[in-house]
Amino acid sequence: MEKVLFLSRSQVQQTVTMSEAIDAVAGAYADLAASRAILPLRTQVPVSRHNGISLLMPAYLEGVDGTGVKIVSVFPDNPGRGLPTIMAVVVLLSAETGQPLAIMEASYLTALRTGAASGVATRYLAKQDSRVLGVFGAGGQAATQVEAVAAVRPVERAVVFDCARDRAERFVREMEARLPGITFEPAAEPGDAVRQADVIVAATTSRTPVFSGELLKPGTHINGIGSFTPEMQEIGEDTLGRVAKIVVDSWEAAAEEAGDLIIPLRRGTLTKENIYAEIGEIVLQKKPGREREDEITYFKSVGLAIQDVAVAALVYRRAREKGIGTDLPLE
């Protein structure tokens, strides 16, 4: 049996660019829309004794002929122990033999593939000349969201709102050094990040809408990637009422986990017929993406294991090519 490649967070960061991750995730969405993927719903393992939960997310992708599982744990009390709230690993397997190929740290990989998901949606749904980005949430997902949108559109300015002003200011300073071609500024209130935005990214865990839909200008594209439970609702019904196209990563997953859609569906202010497409249908050109300059579009992602497998398979190939990582024997 061959050895298993172990990759740390910093080693994963050395392997794949955001543009490459966007292409990999687009391929995964296409596989899903073409019935070339196996994607069971994620399994939740509550650990109530320690106020935590672990999620198991398996998938198979025909496009990369790869299979694997991500295990992600969310333990809110961890900061008091000097540990991160969220920790994750991906185990990548050979689809031909089932042999373990790699074990890699996946907190950065998760941020990368989540950013890439917004990159795919922005590529197909945002106006070509989108230059102003509104960002809600300055946490762990925000940086790769900005990088992804900037990889597919000519972003010149990003306005960042976070309920903790100091966190938004710190994020702005970090991103100014990371992406010097973009002007970053903290927003004093939500409207500052909405009124001029061509693209909006919501990366929060809010249970209430983070901005008013009345403030959106025509032609805005919105990526909603933060909420992932039926109780969370970072995008409000007043926004959905103005949206011309609602696009999801997976209807099945969204119907189980996307509070932004589940809550209005229960109230009757939204119907399943209002969901325009899965993003993979647009990637495959089964349905058109943006058709008018003035239409407001919305992409809702709850995160799918196919994204993890697609990016992990690419990370594994690049790591082998570059000689990155540590081989570990299983026998």
Catalytic positions, written as ranges: 70
**How many other CB atoms sit within 10 Å of the CB of residue 77?**
11
